[in-house]
Amino acid sequence: MAKQLTIFVENRPGRLQSIAENLRVNNIDIRAFTIQDRGDYGLLRLIVDKPNEAYLAMADVGCACALKDVLAVSVPDQPGNFHKLTAALAASGINVLDAYGFVLQPHKTGICCVEVDRPQMTKAEEVVRQAGFAVLADEELYGL
């Protein structure tokens, strides 16, 4: 089964940055990530190219992290397939604790959805654009 790296992250500025930095330093390639928010903390879930190395790199700097088994299911990008998958699980009485999805192809570009605090006040969109990134409008995102 595939390994997911879960990292306990306090909810304060700079924490994600320092985790990302540690992953960069260790040359870890991220395939996908999500954050589960619990108010004072969150859980960062990562799919990476080298899960064991990433785990050790994070544990070395004192992070609370864990490797968990996940089912990595290949689902052709067509209407109804998610239903087909969940129906199969439901039919077997299997409860889904947690799930997320991402598309790597055909654009070969990862889409990172970031929710930020007070986006207007902090001019988040402008900041991202000025860093050289394209920010997709709603329609563009839906049309991918």
| Binding stretches for other proteins (CB under 8 A) | 4, 6, 8-10, 15, 36, 38, 40-41, 43, 59, 62-68, 97
Are 34 and 45 in contact by the 8 Å Cβ rule? The answer is: yes
Instruction: Tell me whether residue 64 or residue 116 sits nearer to other proteins (CB atom).
Output: 64
In whole angstroms, the minimum distance from the beta carbon of 10 to other proteins comes to 5
CB of 58 to other proteins, least distance (A): 10
* Euclidean distance between CA atoms 142 and 43, whole angstroms: 27
Residue (67 or 128) nearer to other proteins, CB: 67
Q: 30, 23 in Cβ contact below 8 A? A: yes
Q: Nearest approach, Cβ of 117 to other proteins (angstroms)?
A: 18
Closer by beta carbon to other proteins, 32 or else 124: 32
Inter-residue contact 68 to 6 (CB < 8 Å): yes
Residue closer to other proteins by CB (options 50, 68) is 68
- Report, in Å, the least distance between residue 2 CB and other proteins: 14
The count of other CB atoms within 10 Å of the CB of residue 7 is 24
Tokens of 96: 């889904």
Please enumerate in sequence order all residues whose Cβ is within 8 A of that of 81, keeping only pairs 6 or more positions apart, or say none.
75
Rounded to a whole number of angstroms, the minimum distance from the CB of residue 9 to other proteins is 7
For other proteins, which is the closer residue by CB, 28 or 65?
65
Nearest residue to 59 (alpha-carbon basis) of 3, 6, 15, 13 = 6
